[in-house]
Amino acid sequence: MTARRTHARRVRTAVAAAAVVASLLAVAAVSRGTHAPAHAAALRPARVQLLGRLRADSPVRFDVNLRMREGALRAFLRDVQDPASADFHHYLSPATFGARFGLSRSDETRVESLLSNAGLRVTASYPQRTSLAVQGVAGAVGQLFGTVLNEYRDVTGRRFHAPSPDPMIPAALRGLVSGITGLSSRAVAQPQDIPTNGMGPQDLEKAYDIGPLHSQGINGEGQTIAVYTQGSFSNSDVDGFARTFGISGPRPEHRSVDGGTTDTTGGGAEEDALDLDTLRAVAPQARLINYEVPESGGLSSFATSLADVVNRVVQDGEANIISISYGVCDVATVGGQGFLPTPERLAGERAFQ
C-alpha cells in the first residue's frame, strides 16, 4: 500500500504551459471492448526492426490514468476563468481537487488492489487523484492489458519496448481507469536549444522585448519556476554565468524525480544549463526548482517521466510556472502511445493550485 502524499499549501497558477505538459496523461489504452487502432506506419520495417518479445521478467514503469468527473471539471474550468462567475480565480488545493473531481478513496484503493492482485506495484499516488505510478514485469503487464511487450530497434540502433497489439483496459478497471501512459519507451525527448554562441541577457531583452519590464523593476520577484530536465547542472557553472553577466538572485535548486540524475555533461545537461541561464536572465529574482529525471529510454519513457514531474510539481505546491524545453514528434510512437491531448484533464492538472 503506497503512503499517501499530501501537502496543504495552496499556490496560485498562471501558466498555460503546464497544461501542455499534462497532456502526457493522455489515454494510451481504451476502455472499450476493442483495441485502439494500431499505429501501423510506426511499425513498418523501414522505421523499426522487431527483435522479439521483451523478456517476461523485464521491469516496466508506466502510469495508470484515473477517471475523473469530466463534466463537473469542464464546468469548473470554465467558471474559474470567467470574471462573471462566483468561482472566478477560486483555485483549489490538490487534495480538494481530487476529492471534488477524482475517484473516491475507496475506488482508488480498489484500483490499487486490482493492480496488486495482477502482480504490479503502485509506487506513487497523488492527492489530486489524476494518476498512479506503477511498476511491474513485462509478463504481468501484458497479461493484465491483453497485449505483448515487444523489443524493437530503430534506425539509429537504439532499442526500445512497445506493446502490440494496442493495450486494452480490462473489464474490472473500465469504470475506474481512463487509460495508461508509458508502455512504449520509443519516444525520446529532443533538446530544443539555440545556435552555437547563444544569446546573452541583453540579447534576450531585445528578442523578447523584456527591457520595459526590467526598467519597471519587474524581475521575477515572488515567482517560483519548475524546470523539467533530463540532466543536472553544476553549481559552479550557474555561479559563473551569474558573475559574468552580473545576475543576482537565488541559485537554482536540485530536486530529484524517478531517481534523478547526476549528469552535468551530456546533452540533457547542456539543455538544462541553457534553460536555467535564460530564465535567470529574464527573471533573475525568481526561485528556480530543477526537477531532474533520468534520460528517457530505459524504465521511464518520456511520457511517464514528464507526467511524473507534473504530478510532483503539483504535489509540492511551490511553483506557479513550469518550463519545458523538450519536444517529441507524435508519429514517433508505437502501440497507441501517441501524445493525444485530453483538454479537460490537461487543463485541470494545474488549474486547481
338 pLDDT above the threshold of 60: no
DSSP string across 130-143: SEEEEEEEHHHHHH
Global pTM?
0.63
Range of weakest confidence among 111-120, 192-201, 309-318: 192-201
Tens of pLDDT, residues 211-238: 899 999 999 999 999 999 999 999 998 9
Confidence of residue 201 (pLDDT cuts 50, 70, 90): confident
Secondary element (H or E) of residue 240: helix 235-245
* Between 192 and 338, the higher pLDDT residue: 192
Confidence of residue 39 (pLDDT cuts 50, 70, 90): very low
What is the CA angle 346-28-154, rounded to 5? Answer: 115
Exposure letters 303-342 (e unless 16+ CB within 10 A, then b): bbbbbbbbbbbbbbbbbbbbbbbbebeeebbbbbbbbbbb
CB 80 within 8 A of CB 92: no
Top mean-pLDDT range of 79-88, 134-143, 186-195 = 134-143
Average pLDDT along the chain: 79
Phi-psi region of 349 (alpha: psi -120 to 50; beta: other; left: phi over 0): alpha
Tens of pLDDT, residues 104-158: 999 999 999 999 999 999 999 999 999 999 999 999 999 999 999 999 998 888 8
31 pLDDT above the threshold of 70: no
Ordered alpha helix ranges (H), 92-180: 94-101, 105-117, 138-145
> Would you state the pLDDT for residue 30?
39
- Measured between alpha carbons, how far is 189 from 327 in angstroms, rounded to an integer? 6
Task: Give, in order, the Cα–Cα distances in Å from 155 to each of 43, 160, 295, 334.
Answer: 12, 12, 19, 14
Range of weakest confidence among 38-47, 139-148, 239-248: 38-47
Per-residue DSSP letter, 168 = B
The domain ranges of the chain are 17-189+296-351, 201-292
Confidence of residue 194 (pLDDT cuts 50, 70, 90): low
- Measured between alpha carbons, how far is 170 from 185 in angstroms, rounded to an integer? 22
